[in-house]
Amino acid sequence: MGASESKLAFKEDIFRLAGDENIPIDSQWWSRFLQLPETAEDVQNLWSANDLRSLTLNTPADRPLHSQSSPRKNAETLIYRTIGRLHALQTRRVYDDPHAPITLEVLNGVRVLTRLLPYIYEADHLNDWEAQFFWAPRKPAEYVNPKSGQKKYFDGLNETKTVPEQQKDAVLGPPLGEQLLDILINYLFFPNFTLPPRNDDNGLPELKPKFVVWQSGIGANKGVGMSKENERNAMEVLRLLLALSSRAMYLAPGIVAEKDVKPLTYLTTQSDRQVILNTLCSLLNTVLKYHQNPWGFSIDLSAANKDSKQALVTYSLQFLLVLITYPVPNNGANEFRKALGRLHRAEDFQFICEGLRQILMQPTSGIFRPVQRLTNQPAAPIAPETLSLFWELLQCNKRFRSYLIDTDRAKDFVVLVLYYAVEAKDDPSRQGIVRMCVFILQTLSVEEKFGKKLNTPFTFQETLPPALQIPNFHGSYADFLIGHIHTLLTGSNRGLESLHPALLAIINNIAPYVQDLQRATSSMLLNAFVSMSQPSFLLANETNYVLLFSLLDAMNALLEHQQEENRRFVDAVVRSRKRFEALRDFTVDGALEELDRSTKERKDAGEFAGVRSPIRNASLDSARATRSPALSNVPEDSAFAIGDDEDEDDEATPSISSHASASVAVPNDALPLQSRSMSEKARGKQPAGLSSFSRSTSQNTSTTSLHALNTHTSNTTYNQSFSPTAEWRGGPRLSTSDPSTNTTTPATATTAKHADLVGAPPSSPSEVKVQTFRWTARALGWYASMLWGWVYAADPARVWAGTAVRLFAVRAQRREVSLKSPRGAVDAVGDTIARRIGGLSLPGGGGGGGGEGGRQTMREV
């Protein structure tokens, strides 16, 4: 809209839409909304938030819901006329000149709906109207002449087609929302719009969609040759599809996994296999083929506003993730996820691995090229979404997992995933990235072949980024992985305590296969054991002992299955035997005496104002047992230090949808398998350090973190509500045959499993038990929050800016800060949202006023 007069005229039309109650339904005036704007910015900037909210005002009580005098009635007419015009442009020749391009009107129709829909979704009072207007079978629309009061019924998608009053309740077609989705999917594959020009038999522009794969790769040996204009058009259609699907943004995280998001349900359950496969392959190939760069030059993915290709890649990846992660209600099958799980050709997997690797290794370009060094490139702005896509492939396609492990590519991805976890671990705003990386590693670790492959020597540490290098490292991939798990366990900020069970689960899963563990790695495991067995850790919370049990179980698996191949680890255990013996003799009284003594010593030394543990006054009326030795004073044969060493199935497993119903049983926890040994009572009282998704830290529950213990932080506070009961102190003795079905205490677990520290390996080792990640409603809420947070923050058009999102909270970020990284703070976005989803309560409806003048980012809820 080049001329200022045209922009002024368009703004006047917008004002009239909100204030004029007498606009005839069949007036040509409505067409101005699709003909006047010239760019997406015109629609975005001239249609303000106040203008849009004026169309969604609640109907006054003295007016009928669908009365012409309601501003919402004009919104209905605008939606009808826009969708009807999009359908007409796609199915018949509407211009006098049959060769005239349809592009501008189609784009303006897409832009109007993209601008309006988020404001409909944010208005709670429109929920019933939205369900009826968009998702009920379409019936005739009603128009009341303001002068005569006469009623008129017509087809909303074709204002010239009237309907007799006696047929006013007749069904004219499927729901309007479904018809809009069909129209938009067709436009993704429409010649002369998103595909190159194509004529019919009469030499006129083709008016039929052609379902083909956009780019070469999976499902196509040759691309269709999209022009930059085609790419820009496809990008705008994808943006509207995301806007239609963004109903989840306006739901609370606690319920988002249980709500039926109608657009996504329709898209993911439709039966047209041609549409599903071509859409899936087009989106996937667009992402994986972007800037294939065999020469190792820097890949600049930072200009989404200027580069239409970058915007298309970003929207393609985000829309693909939204589709494949959607949990269909009532355990229905997600056809996009099933199609992704059916990929099986080796060449497809090779293409996928190379595409993912090109994106993820940008900031670590020297990782797999020993002759090159680190180039200090910034991370790709779509790196978080790419990690998510990698995780989804691992979960839903077992053939891909096997290919990854059999070809040794899994080891490369372990290094990449560890890089993103370690690089983000100290940034509270990016803990979602760390969480996802840990779950990726846990998903890989359940494979037996993966555990065995980790015994390969790791020989190129000097090419790694500094954040990944372990001083004086020698060893295998297993040593490298355990070393960084130890870093995440003991060297990260307090917010990552909720990941400790998953980190220990990874060690548990690989322990039966690890061989030749180095001395430094053995010391790390024993140091972690020492920290977890300290009374200050065990008595800090009712269930902290489960972490110790998990570590002991991993150490036991090492000894039971690979004792002869791990002499250094055996030696470390033997040298530390007094630590195990002290834990075997653990009693509550002895632990409390030690804590009191330690507090007094530090107080006398002036370290801090000593506080007597509140649990000292707990119920200790039962007979007092033998005091436990002070673990901190147990002598060792030699000290341990970390330093130098000496020398198919079609179905996804586990799929998100398949676990949706299971989540109802335990709605407040995303429990990995390692937590199954807990009683229901104990599980309900889990602290932040024991569930995959921590409770709100505002609750009066505290734990002693391993980081605090390893840095000698002495001002530890204790859980005021934890009282060591007789059940906690003297629970059932652990059965050595099935550790997953009993409630244990530190004393009983250690006595049963480690009475004899190291003996001859058993003639027939017990069955290996893997600890898998399990989806629950709470986990899905976290995941949806993170994905939609990325969508919100990465959008250069600011589609959702200023709306009252509820899935996460929003704050404005200063523009000069946002420009420091390629996508501003986008690589950190979504990682902070809903970190404390349990009992989540968003202030003020979710923080809608981010403002439209600057880039947006998330803040921790």
Comparing 11-25, 427-441, 806-820, 847-861, which segment has the lowest mean pLDDT?
847-861
Q: For the residues 46-61, what does the mean pLDDT come to?
A: 79
- Rounded to the nearest angstrom, the gap between the alpha carbon of residue 447 and the centroid of all alpha carbons in its chain is 23
Copy the structure tokens of residue 477. Answer: 């991939």
Q: For the residues 556-571, what does the mean pLDDT come to?
A: 93
634 and 734 co-located in one domain = yes
703 and 795 co-located in one domain = no
39 and 86 co-located in one domain = yes
What does the CA dihedral 186, 188, 190, 192 come to, rounded to 10 degrees?
A: 150
pLDDT (0 to 100) of residue 467: 86
Q: For the residues 519-544, what does the mean pLDDT come to?
A: 89
Kind and range of the H or E element at 390?
helix 383-396
pLDDT (0 to 100) of residue 731: 59
Copy the structure tokens of residue 394. Answer: 């691992």
142 and 191 co-located in one domain = yes
**What is the distance between the alpha carbons of residues 270 and 326, in angstroms, rounded to a whole number?**
14
pLDDT at residue 515 is higher than 90:
yes
pLDDT (0 to 100) of residue 812: 57
pLDDT (0 to 100) of residue 736: 35
In a domain, 580, yes or no: yes
pLDDT at residue 64 is higher than 60:
no
Are the CB atoms for 551 and 507 separated by under 8 Å? yes
pLDDT at residue 277 is higher than 60:
yes
Are the CB atoms for 612 and 599 separated by under 8 Å? yes
Q: Is 343 exposed, middle or buried (0-12, 13-18, 19+ CB in 10 A)?
A: buried
For the chain, what is the domain count?
Answer: 3
Closest by CA to 467, choosing from 518, 411, 421, is 421
pLDDT at residue 604 is higher than 50:
yes
Closest by CA to 582, choosing from 708, 739, 750, is 750
Three-state secondary-structure class, residue 830: coil
pLDDT-derived band at 607 (thresholds 50, 70, 90) equals: low
Closest by CA to 720, choosing from 803, 855, 612, 828, is 612
Closest by CA to 771, choosing from 844, 859, 838, 676, is 676
pLDDT (0 to 100) of residue 514: 96
Higher pLDDT, 250 or 769: 250
Q: For the residues 556-570, what does the mean pLDDT come to?
A: 93
Higher pLDDT, 730 or 224: 224
Q: Of 160, 191, 210, which marks where a domain is finished?
A: 210
Total residue length of the chain: 861
Closest by CA to 386, choosing from 365, 409, 366, 357, is 357
Higher pLDDT, 166 or 229: 229
Comparing 489-493, 591-595, 611-615, which segment has the lowest mean pLDDT?
611-615
629 and 694 co-located in one domain = yes
Give 367's contacts (C-beta < 8 A, 6+ positions apart): 361, 412, 415, 416, 419, 460, 463, 464, 465
Residue 665 one-letter amino acid: A
Q: In 172-254, where does DSSP find H-type helix? A: 176-188, 228-245
In a domain, 366, yes or no: no
pLDDT (0 to 100) of residue 566: 94
588 and 703 co-located in one domain = yes
Q: Of 181, 210, 239, which marks where a domain is finished?
A: 210
**What is the distance between the alpha carbons of residues 461 and 471, in angstroms, rounded to a whole number?**
10
Give 504's contacts (C-beta < 8 A, 6+ positions apart): 489, 547, 550, 551, 554, 674
**What is the distance between the alpha carbons of residues 624 and 8, in angstroms, rounded to a whole number?**
85
Q: For the residues 139-150, what does the mean pLDDT come to?
A: 79
Q: For the residues 732-740, what does the mean pLDDT come to?
A: 37
Kind and range of the H or E element at 811?
strand 810-812
Q: What DSSP state is assigned to residue 3?
A: S
CA angle 398, 395, 448 (to 5 degrees): 55
In a domain, 335, yes or no: no
Are the CB atoms for 761 and 558 separated by under 8 Å? no
**What is the distance between the alpha carbons of residues 232 and 502, in angstroms, rounded to a whole number?**
42
712 and 846 co-located in one domain = no
Three-state secondary-structure class, residue 220: strand
Tell me the per-residue pLDDT of 657-711, one tens digit each, with 9 for 90 and over: 333 322 222 223 332 333 323 333 433 433 333 333 332 223 333 345 565 555 4
In a domain, 324, yes or no: no
Residue 461 one-letter amino acid: Q
Closest by CA to 553, choosing from 668, 677, 456, 430, is 677
pLDDT at residue 2 is higher than 80:
no
In a domain, 466, yes or no: no
591 and 738 co-located in one domain = yes
Copy the structure tokens of residue 255. Answer: 């319920």
pLDDT-derived band at 57 (thresholds 50, 70, 90) equals: confident
CA distances from 594 to 597, 715, 830 (A): 5, 15, 43
**What is the distance between the alpha carbons of residues 99 and 203, in angstroms, rounded to a whole number?**
9
Q: Of 739, 771, 803, which marks where a domain is finished?
A: 771
**What does 309-372 look like in DSSP terms, one character per residue?**
HHHHHHHHHHHHHHHHT---GGG---HHHHHHHT---HHHHHHHHHHHHHHHTGGGTTTT-TTS
Q: For the residues 550-574, what does the mean pLDDT come to?
A: 93
pLDDT (0 to 100) of residue 151: 83
Copy the structure tokens of residue 595. Answer: 């804590």
pLDDT (0 to 100) of residue 758: 58
Copy the structure tokens of residue 473. Answer: 């490292």
Give the HSE-up count for residue 275: Cα atoms under 13 Å, Cβ half-sphere.
18
In a domain, 478, yes or no: no
Higher pLDDT, 203 or 451: 451
Are the CB atoms for 749 and 533 separated by under 8 Å? no
Higher pLDDT, 120 or 22: 120
**What is the distance between the alpha carbons of residues 666 and 688, in angstroms, rounded to a whole number?**
16
Query: 């008129």: which residue's tokens?
Result: 152
Higher pLDDT, 103 or 294: 103
Query: 């921790």: which residue's tokens?
Result: 860
Are the CB atoms for 637 and 575 separated by under 8 Å? yes
Q: For the residues 73-96, what does the mean pLDDT come to?
A: 91
Copy the structure tokens of residue 424. Answer: 């983000």
pLDDT at residue 839 is higher than 50:
no
pLDDT at residue 757 is higher than 90:
no
Residue 851 one-letter amino acid: G
Are the CB atoms for 303 and 209 separated by under 8 Å? no
Percentage of the chain surpassing pLDDT 90? 42
Q: Which of 93-102, 257-266, 370-379, 733-742 has the highest mean pLDDT?
A: 257-266
CA angle 258, 259, 261 (to 5 degrees): 135
pLDDT (0 to 100) of residue 436: 96
pLDDT (0 to 100) of residue 156: 85
717 and 843 co-located in one domain = no
Copy the structure tokens of residue 12. Answer: 């006047």
Average pLDDT, the chain: 76
What does the CA dihedral 306, 312, 317, 321 come to, rounded to 10 degrees?
A: 110
Tell me the per-residue pLDDT of 184-229, one tens digit each, with 9 for 90 and over: 999 999 999 999 999 888 888 988 999 999 999 999 999 999 999 9
In a domain, 617, yes or no: yes
pLDDT-derived band at 338 (thresholds 50, 70, 90) equals: very high
pLDDT at residue 369 is higher than 90:
no
Give 729's contacts (C-beta < 8 A, 6+ positions apart): 587, 588, 622, 745, 747
Instruction: Write a three-state SS string for 41-100.
Output: HHHHHHCCHHHHHHCCCCCCCCCCCCCCCCHHHHHHHHHHHHHHHHHHHHHCCCCCCCCC
Closest by CA to 533, choosing from 600, 581, 495, is 581
Residue 406 one-letter amino acid: D
How crowded is residue 64: how many other Cβ atoms within 10 Å of its Cβ?
Answer: 12
pLDDT (0 to 100) of residue 540: 82
Give 419's contacts (C-beta < 8 A, 6+ positions apart): 363, 364, 367, 464, 465, 467, 468
Tell me the per-residue pLDDT of 620-647, one tens digit each, with 9 for 90 and over: 333 233 334 444 444 443 333 333 334 4
pLDDT (0 to 100) of residue 589: 81
703 and 820 co-located in one domain = no
640 and 606 co-located in one domain = yes
Angle between helix 308-324 and helix 777-794 axes, rounded to 10 deg: 170
In a domain, 352, yes or no: no
710 and 843 co-located in one domain = no
Main-chain phi, psi angles of 501, to 5 degrees: -60, -40
**What is the distance between the alpha carbons of residues 634 and 512, in angstroms, rounded to a whole number?**
30
Q: Which residue segment(s) compose the domain that 847 sits in?
A: 791-858
Angle between helix 71-91 and helix 103-122 axes, rounded to 10 deg: 140
